[in-house]
Amino acid sequence: MTKGQFKKPVRIQLGRIDRDRFVMGPKDAAEILLREWPLENSPSRTKAMEACLLVIRRHKPPSYSRRYFVAACKEARILLEDT
């Protein structure tokens, strides 16, 4: 496992049915939350963004941001599989 990555990737689908994505860590998650998120004003999105920032700044472990990212994905209905 690369330092700063999730132990298990998060599988999501943002658009087309044939375009699954595997989010490998907090930097990937933050990029998606900032640029591609389907729900603009979502408390779960905001919490996930804050969690990713804490991990990127090395204040929390990657599992912290993963938990909030998965919750936001569930709310947005883009989570395919919590692998």
DSSP SS3 for 14: coil
pLDDT tens digits for 26-82? 999 999 999 999 988 899 999 999 999 999 999 999 999 999 999 999 999 999 976
pLDDT, residue 1, reads 40
* Domain with 54 in it: 10-81
5 occurs within a structural domain: no
> What total of structural domains would you count in the chain?
1
Tokens of 83: 């692998």
- Edge-to-edge strands, sheet with 10-13: 20-23, 10-13, 79-81
Distance CA 56, CA 76 (A): 23
Sign of CA dihedral 49, 54, 70, 67: negative
pTM for the structure as a whole: 0.90
2 occurs within a structural domain: no
56 occurs within a structural domain: yes
